[in-house]
Amino acid sequence: MGHSVETVQQEVEQTATMPVLTPYKMGKFNLSYRMVMPPMTRQRSWNNIPQPHAAIYYSHRAANGGLIISEATVISEAGRGYKDTPGIWSKEQVEAWKPIVDAVHAKGGIFFCQIWHVGRASTYEYQPNGQPPISSTSNVLKPQVQANSEEPAKFSPPRRLATEEIPQVVNEYRLAARNAMEAGKFLSPFNNFYARIHGAHGYLLDQFMKDHINDRTDQYGGSLENRCRFALEVVEAVANEIRADRVGLRLSPYATYLDSGDSDPTALGVYMAESLNKYDILYCHMVEPRMKLSEESFETTESLLPMRKAFKGTFIVAGGYDKEDGNKAVAENRTDLVSFGRLFLSNPDLPKRFELNAPLTKHNRSTYCEPDPVVGYTDYPFLENTA
């Protein structure tokens, strides 16, 4: 049987398409390409309430069949650690999210809400009644320089969460996931705002998983299984609440951000990847070992391949990817999807620019967390406006 002209043409077109621009089926979602807009904290949700300008920002970057994960969104008043980050614990916040989610859905985008608790990365001023922040430990986090300032941020001494209090915090994650789904039911009952759990970068769940922080002696401390127990209880609760095929988890086993190092990050990553299979969640989003800190990339021989092989769902990589190494990661089957943070931030039409091999706008780091509703937020140009 010879190939018809049409099939030859299709084959030529397929080989010409760059790997990150090929379609992908993620559970019930048909993604048009393998590029993900990952969560990026922008600190423009005044008083923890998402604002109308967020609808413009996200819809600029939304496309039919494109996956967007929202900025980290706080699950409770005690989960806060930064100024003007959005929350999803109150009715008012849920209502404020609705038009934002709808703006993404109007473009055919698939939207996940990253639900977040900072744990000890907080201060008394962010806590209800000025109480200590909670953590796996009572050891204070040493001052850290953060993305939006020159001066190191100082943190208040945390309170070690009592064993019997943990189910209450698990429940806060569950309610946040339920609220996210509620926020997605504005005009389209099919398209929801799904839940992506933040288990990375030295925040609460990571404070339990990493042995450089967790110094507990109860069933949530000591062995690897015990340290991962809290995170897996959160995964289970959220999956039971909104269905496992609507749940993702972000992990950064190798990162040392916010003093979150671990003595055996590979074992931690593999254990979590294997454990997630029994909950059948949709995807696992892991941060590359080269991104040990938030901004700089390091040369390393470590790799996410063992986790990629261990996890049965969709695997997403993050961490300093550009067009060339993102395509290479997909071509070599090291991942299903690639997230491009800074590039999506400064190029709202990033997939189109990749496709046309168009020049990319450089991001301006100094405006990442400016409170301005436009500058460094909704003013990055589209291709047609740069000609």
Please give the tally of structural domains in the chain: 1
Q: Over the stretch 64-96, which tens digit does the pLDDT of each residue have?
A: 999 999 999 999 999 999 999 999 999 999 999
- Report the candidate in 341, 78, 280, 69 with the shortest Cα–Cα distance to residue 195: 69
Is 308 in a helix, a strand, or coil? helix
> What are the pLDDT digits (tens) for 94-122?
999 999 999 999 999 999 999 999 999 99
What CATH number did the domain enclosing 188 receive?
Answer: 3.20.20.70
Q: How far apart are CA 316 and CA 248, in angstroms?
A: 10
Pair 124, 81: CB distance under 8 Å: no
Q: Is the pLDDT of residue 9 over 90?
A: no
Which residues are annotated as catalytic? 203
Long-range Cβ contacts of 366-373 (<8 Å, 24+ apart): 368/40, 368/42, 368/147, 368/148, 369/41, 369/42, 369/43, 369/147, 369/148, 370/148, 371/43, 371/44, 371/46, 371/84, 372/44, 373/44, 373/51, 373/53
pLDDT digit string (tens) for 234-245? Answer: 999 999 999 999
Token readout for 66 is 């494109």
Distance CA 40, CA 213 (A): 24
Predicted confidence at residue 54, as pLDDT, reads 97
CA 100 – CA 89 distance, rounded (Å): 16
Amino acid code (one letter) for 18: M
Domain of residue 69 covers 5-385
